[in-house]
Structure 1
Amino acid sequence: MYRLTDRNRHIGNMFSSIAPRYDFLNRLLSLGVDRRWRRLAVAETVPSAGGRFLDVATGTADMALEILRRKGPGASVAGVDLSVEMMRVGQEKCARARRSRGVAFLRAPAECLPFRDASFDSACVAFGIRNVADRERGLREMCRAVRHGGRVVVLEFSSPPGTFFGALYRFYFKSVLPRIGGIFSRGSAYAYLPESVLAFPEPPAFAEMMRAAGCASVTHRPLTFGIVTLYVGVR
């Protein structure tokens, strides 16, 4: 039995507070590149058509909808998140896209997924693993829920290498992004974001964490000059 920690509750409440503006700010702050990142992540999941998918930290369902678009008829997604308000926005988006039947939303922490072993062909988490209070346990749960031979795909921000670009990126993340986010949202998520990203493990260390959780053949590759890293493991 897993009990929600104070950090679990804090994260859920924080994202609930910015749910109405979340998608707008994502497009603005990433200049729309986040859509490409998700397409690349979904391309790493299996099978190539149809299938059962788990979307951890589903939020406003961007990843879930991308899965349904790419996998076609017969695909289904279970989306879990701590924030009811974020998932409410996701449900509305699915309804507008006429995809409501393809996505089931459940409120649950990544550390205690309400699914049987090997329930899914692939599991993914996009920009949410750094918010999991017990990251190791969350990864173990994702692996447990995926069938043998399935995929665990993680898309997460990272700190790009290089003196010039790395310094420019950190300045944007620490100084510019929180101010822009603060203009459109009263929430603290865009002040929290740079702190959580800069504290996240380096790609080789996180890939090793995935191996320890039950993934084999873990690979990682940088996207957009290393702003984001795409991790893929085979269950």
Structure 2
Amino acid sequence: MNSNTITPYKDDKASKKQQVATMFNNISKTYDFLNHFLSFGIDIIWRKRAIKSLKELQPKQLLDVATGTGDFAFEAINILNPDQVIGVDISQGMLDIARNKIAKRGLAQKFEVVLGDSEGLPFGNASFDAVTVAFGVRNFENLEKGLTDICRVLRPGGQAVILEFSTPKTFPMKQLYSIYSRTVMPFLGRLFSKDRAAYSYLPESVAQFPDGERFTAILQRAGFTKTVYRPQTFGICTIYIGTK
């Protein structure tokens, strides 16, 4: 079984894409809290590190795919100060929260969000200097197709920076993470979120995701060069970078 066939609602006949949109609509109001809570706040550090890898490039036009509630894009604005950031996501519920944050921070001139599909991005070729994705690629229905479209909208020399959960490979973190992700995370997710399936799907989708060198190989097939991966915090998360 691969990550493309793992879906949130096993008995639902809808496509993975439709199910993921429904899931994020359902958990949107508790998503930020649970993200920070379940990762002990370390996800904030991972985001900063990932964005800092773009400092040398100094992107002016930036696209944040699977933007969710906008946290990765806000980090990019703080660290990189681009001219324009566009966030795209398939969940209207998540985008509603992102829009509220944009308004509260007075960033409407710099950051806008649009409803859209990562596998058919509504932008022209070579539109962006950089594309970022945080914890979103494992939810793509067709991973390679989504990455190929990300490559398409990048200008030559532009970079994609992708942050994604991975599975620790060494003792004892491998065993501890397995227990945490399969029992503690679903329990706490159900406690705070109205969607019982979501926090069982999330660790399952991580376990099936082709991380490390397998993912950089897919990036290369999608058109990227100079691909690197940098495991974070005992391999719980990985930063991937590809250049067009």
TM-score range normalised by the length of the shorter chain: over 0.9
Secondary structure at 2:125 match in 1:
coil
- Output the CA distance in 1 between the equivalents of 2:63 and 2:79: 15
Q: Please say if residues 51 and 76 of structure 1, whose CA atoms lie closer than 8 Å, have aligned partners that are also in contact.
A: yes
Partner AA of 2:145 in structure 1: R
- Deviation of the 1:45 alpha carbon: 2.3
- Output the CA distance in 2 between the equivalents of 1:113 and 1:145: 8
- Output the CA distance in 1 between the equivalents of 2:51 and 2:85: 12
2:22 to 13, 21, 33: 13
- Equivalent residue number for residue 104 of structure 2: 96
- Equivalent residue number for residue 43 of structure 2: 34
- Equivalent residue number for residue 207 of structure 1: 216
Q: CA RMSD in A?
A: 1.3
1:113 correspondence with 2:116: no
1:221 correspondence with 2:195: no
- Deviation of the 1:107 alpha carbon: 1.0
Q: Please say if residues 87 and 114 of structure 2, whose CA atoms lie closer than 8 Å, have aligned partners that are also in contact.
A: yes
Secondary structure at 1:182 match in 2:
helix
- Output the CA distance in 1 between the equivalents of 2:56 and 2:93: 31
Q: Which runs of 5+ in 1 are unaligned?
A: none
Secondary structure at 2:48 match in 1:
helix
Q: Please say if residues 16 and 85 of structure 1, whose CA atoms lie closer than 8 Å, have aligned partners that are also in contact.
A: yes
- Equivalent residue number for residue 181 of structure 2: 173
- Deviation of the 1:75 alpha carbon: 2.4
Q: Please say if residues 49 and 70 of structure 1, whose CA atoms lie closer than 8 Å, have aligned partners that are also in contact.
A: no
1:163 to 167, 171, 174: 171
- Deviation of the 1:50 alpha carbon: 5.7
- Output the CA distance in 2 between the equivalents of 1:234 and 1:48: 11
Secondary structure at 2:100 match in 1:
helix
Q: For residues 39 and 90 of structure 1, do their structure 2 counterparts lie closer, same or farther at Cα, with a shift above 3 Å needed?
A: same
- Deviation of the 1:147 alpha carbon: 0.5
- Output the CA distance in 2 between the equivalents of 1:83 and 1:107: 7
- Output the CA distance in 2 between the equivalents of 1:49 and 1:7: 35
- Deviation of the 1:202 alpha carbon: 2.9
Q: Please say if residues 120 and 145 of structure 1, whose CA atoms lie closer than 8 Å, have aligned partners that are also in contact.
A: yes
- Output the CA distance in 2 between the equivalents of 1:19 and 1:165: 29
Aligned residues: 230
- Output the CA distance in 2 between the equivalents of 1:50 and 1:157: 25
- Equivalent residue number for residue 151 of structure 2: 143
Secondary structure at 1:148 match in 2:
strand
- Equivalent residue number for residue 55 of structure 1: 64
- Output the CA distance in 2 between the equivalents of 1:168 and 1:114: 41
Q: For residues 164 and 201 of structure 1, do their structure 2 counterparts lie closer, same or farther at Cα, with a shift above 3 Å needed?
A: same
Secondary structure at 2:234 match in 1:
coil
- Output the CA distance in 2 between the equivalents of 1:80 and 1:102: 14
Q: How does the TM-score come out when normalised to structure 2?
A: 0.91
Q: Please say if residues 79 and 105 of structure 1, whose CA atoms lie closer than 8 Å, have aligned partners that are also in contact.
A: yes
- Output the CA distance in 2 between the equivalents of 1:198 and 1:63: 23
